[in-house]
Structure 1
């Protein structure tokens, strides 16, 4: 289930216009999947509306930023990390020479703003939770 709807994206976040509702629906689902992957699926199985308002807001902003990023990077194809910056066939070669050529596939597929929105939430933490009462030695 997407973390945002078109109304939130357009009116609250103020993202770049996406006229096609079906395209927005596809992109918001893919962006939400990327957020789940980045957060190691820590939001799955949790009632989103029961989370602290700050967490909800940051996840919605991150999802919106990812949708906007995917639109700017070419839409649906952006979920796979962009294309090639350099291609060669025989004696022919072509290089785009853009700044994304120095980024790895993961960096190309995710907006830097997504990480910044999620940093203060704790959802990016990969360590061991030492406060889990269900764990016993």
Structure 2
């Protein structure tokens, strides 16, 4: 089960980096990651700001970037050229990118707390 739908991604989150055809795959993987880092508590968390849904969207975009090999550092429109940041030390690695996406939305919720 994915925590966010494509409609939420476009309308509430304001996302446009993932196509509708690919969104379900990325959202499911993002939801699995959220379950991992929250120890399953994300499924039971509800709030007025939809922070779990937003975190799902942010992680889905991060997973997409990771699959593409890193962030785009250069892009041309004519004859389409892209260069990805791979191995550059000032860009986040794959795990850091996912962690940043999760923390942006879930840090204030207590879902990431591992204590007793």
The normalised TM-score by structure 1 is 0.61
Secondary structure of the structure 2 residue equivalent to 1:33: helix
Aligned positions, number: 101
What is the deviation of 1:20? 4.5
Question: In 1, Cα distance between the equivalents of 2:95 and 2:87?
Answer: 19
Question: In 2, Cα distance between the equivalents of 1:126 and 1:97?
Answer: 31
RMSD: 2.6
* Corresponding position of 1:97: 87
The normalised TM-score by structure 2 is 0.71
What is the deviation of 1:72? 2.1
Choose 1 or 2 for highest CA Rg. Answer: 1
Gapped regions of structure 2 (runs ≥ 5): 71-85
* Corresponding position of 2:18: 18
Gapped regions of structure 1 (runs ≥ 5): 79-95, 129-137
**Partner deviation per Cα, 1:98-120 (whole Å, 9 max, x = no partner):** 137885x6335x14131121010
Question: In 1, Cα distance between the equivalents of 2:90 and 2:30?
Answer: 19
